Structure formats: C-alpha cells, structure tokens
C-alpha cells in the first residue's frame, strides 16, 4: 500500500511541474505587457536583495545580501552588507567601489563585462526595458506569478549570459526575482524584498 502511494505521488510529480510553469496564452501576454508598461514609469527603486549563487557541485547556494538603489536613467548603487561589506556605485560611466574603506574607481569603458552587467541589472529591475533586437522573449506563468525569459541574441552577451529570467510579484506586478543563468547553467538568483518605487532617494546613496 505504501509503495502504491509512493508510485502515485511519483506519477503526479511531472503534473505538479507543469502546473507551476507554463507558457502564457495570447490574452495573458497582452495583459502582462500592459502591466509591464507601469515598470517603464519607474524612476527610482530601492530594495533589499538576497543573492543566491548556485553551482552544480555545491549542495547549497552561496548567499549574500544587501541593499540596492536605482535611479533612472543611469545610476545604480549595489551594496553588500552580509556576509561582507562591499559597495559598488555605477554612475557617470564609472564604477565606484568601496571595499571596507578601500576605495577605487573603474572606467566602465575599460570593462565591457561590468558595462554589460550593469545594463542587464538596470534593465531587468525596470522589467519593460528590454530590447527585442538583443533578446528573444518568452512569457510564462509560474504559479500565480508572471515570468519573463530573455535569451540573448547577440554574441557578446551570449558569452556571459545564457538567459535572464524575471519573476514578477503576483501582488504588485513588480519585479520580485532576477535569475541570471550562465552558459554553464550555473546561475545567480536575486530576490528583492521591501521594494519601494518612485520614492525620493538621497543623493548620498550614489556617493562613496
């Protein structure tokens, strides 16, 4: 009897998976795209984030957390507070870094990799700001949440990112999670909490 129950549960597993993530229907895509328009209106964003780095050979992800501030069009402050203190500010074409008091500045022009990342992070947080020339876009429902899968089309981005998955909160339709999948299939998941949209940000968060 116990075995039969186990077999039954095992047979149900794939159904659970399908129930969780499925492609959106045309009317759902239209409705979702409408909700994306409000993200384009995001001028500022502040949030706490938890970053989970998943590697295939590690049982548990490497976790770090911090605070992010975004001000459209080109200011991003990304500060880790645990388990270490490390702050990066992307502004004026430069990256300003404060590593526990040790400060340095990197010209983004000299670091294509950083430039790509900051663009991806900024556009991901604003959800609607993706370019269909750069990404193939697929729409999904993940439980009650809307999910967007962006697959880079350009060779430059493909070298670093296999796909970007954006998960939107069912409650407020804002970005709740960003997942950056690497070509090796290892990935980093950013979970955003305590999101505040279009509040006035103190300019000091973009200074070091």
Partner 1 sequence: MNPFLTYSFFVLLLLASCGTYRYPNASGIREMAPEEVNSYYIDTARSFVYRAKLQAFRKDVNGSLLIKPLGREGCRVALISDFGQTLFDISIQPNGHELHYAMHDLNKRALVSEIASVFRIMTAQQHPTSALMFDDRAHYYPVYVADDCYYLMKGRKVERITQVKRAKEYVLIYYRDWNTAGVPTEVAVEHRKFPLAIDLVLDEEQSTL
Q: Which residues are near partner 1 by CB under 8 A?
A: 51, 53, 55, 57-60, 62-64, 80, 83-84, 86, 88, 99, 104, 113, 117, 159-160, 180, 182-184, 186, 188
**55 versus 138: smaller Cβ distance to partner 1:** 55
Residue 124 C-beta: closest distance to partner 1, Å: 13
Residue 80 C-beta: closest distance to partner 1, Å: 7
Q: Which helix (H) or strand (E) holds 124?
A: helix 112-125
**22 versus 162: smaller Cβ distance to partner 1:** 162
- The Cα–Cα gap between 196 and 67 comes to 12
Residue 84 C-beta: closest distance to partner 1, Å: 6
Beta carbons within 8 Å of 204's beta carbon, 6+ residues apart: none
Residue 140 C-beta: closest distance to partner 1, Å: 23
- The Cα–Cα gap between 109 and 93 comes to 7
Are 25 and 18 within 8 A, CB to CB? no
**4 versus 102: smaller Cβ distance to partner 1:** 102
Are 124 and 134 within 8 A, CB to CB? no
**56 versus 204: smaller Cβ distance to partner 1:** 56
Nearest partner of 125 among 58, 72, 87, judged by Cα = 72
């Amino acid at each position: 009897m116990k075995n039969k129950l186990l077999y039954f549960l095992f047979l149900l597993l794939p159904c659970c998976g399908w129930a969780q993530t499925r492609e959106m229907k045309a009317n759902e895509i239209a409705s979702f795209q409408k909700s994306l328009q409000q993200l384009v209106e995001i001028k500022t964003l502040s949030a706490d984030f938890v970053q989970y780095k998943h590697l295939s050979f590690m049982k548990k992800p490497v976790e770090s957390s911090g605070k992010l501030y975004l001000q459209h069009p080109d200011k991003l402050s990304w500060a880790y507070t645990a388990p270490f203190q490390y702050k990066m500010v992307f502004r004026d074409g430069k990256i300003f870094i404060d590593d526990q008091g040790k400060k340095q500045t990197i010209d983004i022009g000299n670091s294509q990799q950083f430039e790509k990342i900051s663009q991806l992070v900024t556009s991901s947080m604003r959800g609607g700001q993706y370019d269909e020339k750069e990404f193939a876009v697929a729409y999904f429902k993940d439980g009650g949440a809307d999910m967007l899968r962006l697959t880079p089309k350009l060779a430059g981005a493909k070298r670093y990112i296999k796909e970007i998955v954006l998960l939107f909160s069912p409650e407020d339709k804002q970005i709740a999670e960003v997942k950056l999948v690497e070509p090796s299939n290892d990935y980093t998941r950013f979970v955003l909490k305590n999101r505040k949209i279009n509040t006035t940000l103190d300019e000091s968060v973009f200074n070091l």
